[in-house]
Amino acid sequence: MLRVVVRCLVCLLVAVVAVSSCERATAEVPPTSELSPIFSGTDLSGWHTKEPQYWTVANGVLTGLNDEEKKGSMLYTDASYGDVIFECEVRFSGEIDSGVMMRKPEVQVQIGVSRSLKRDMTCSFYVGGYPEEAQAKRAGELLKEGDWNRLRVQAKGNTFTVWLNGEQVSSYTNDKYAEAGPIGLQIHGGLVMKVEYRDIRAMELN
């Protein structure tokens, strides 16, 4: 009888610890609904670029479209962010080279094919190169080409983490990228390409 009681108490303790751990994990990763929209879906208010001809907004979708001159462009938020969670949906097909920029100096989360490596490095970190430990080697399994993909990037202290369609795919730690900076979206020069973004959100972290 005593053994049965002990076993029950152990099972109960394990269950409590599991629930507690789950609650902590959930609290550490806020749901999308807690992030505030930073893109109106109707215009580029709150954002700026030197090449507005490459960026258009229609039906809630932000489209970056490089032309035959292949010059490329950057689109930045007016606001600067330090510790932050950035989230959006992104859609593309074929060969593109885009990315999400954060902090100063800039750290980039790659979207599409790297110009230097000539292969898809989506969700890997580019910092003048692609450090082995910062590569998203499972991203290809989760990426839905030609469909909408949910991308989340968290910058917290010296650590940067990326989720693709709800799964963590890469992480990078470096003290260099410490200053607050605008969030940027890229159209890389050198190729004709089209990338689309929607439901762009962010939440500053305390």
Per-residue pLDDT tens over the stretch 88-97: 999 999 999 9
User: What is the pLDDT at residue 199?
Assistant: 98
Mean of pLDDT values over 167-185: 98
pLDDT confidence of 38, banded at 50, 70, 90?
very high
User: What is the pLDDT at residue 1?
Assistant: 45
User: What is the pLDDT at residue 9?
Assistant: 38
pLDDT confidence of 6, banded at 50, 70, 90?
very low
User: What is the pLDDT at residue 5?
Assistant: 35
Q: What is the pLDDT of residues 143-153, one digit of tens each?
A: 999 999 999 99
Sequence-ordered strand ranges (E) for 49-148: 55-58, 61-65, 73-81, 84-91, 97-102, 107-112, 125-126
Pair of tokens at residue 138:
């499972």
Q: Looking at per-residue confidence, does 21 or 149 come out higher?
A: 149
Q: Looking at per-residue confidence, does 66 or 23 come out higher?
A: 66
User: What is the pLDDT at residue 126?
Assistant: 98
Identify which of 38, 83, 70, 89 has the alpha carbon closest to the alpha carbon of residue 196.
89
Q: What is the pLDDT of residues 47-62, one digit of tens each?
A: 999 999 999 999 999 9
- Give CA–CA dist 52/6, Å, rounded: 69
Percent of the residues in the chain that have a pLDDT greater than 70, as a whole number: 86
- Give CA–CA dist 109/125, Å, rounded: 5
Pair of tokens at residue 202:
């962010």
Mean of pLDDT values over 150-179: 98
- Has residue 15 got a pLDDT over 90? no
Pair of tokens at residue 143:
């990426």
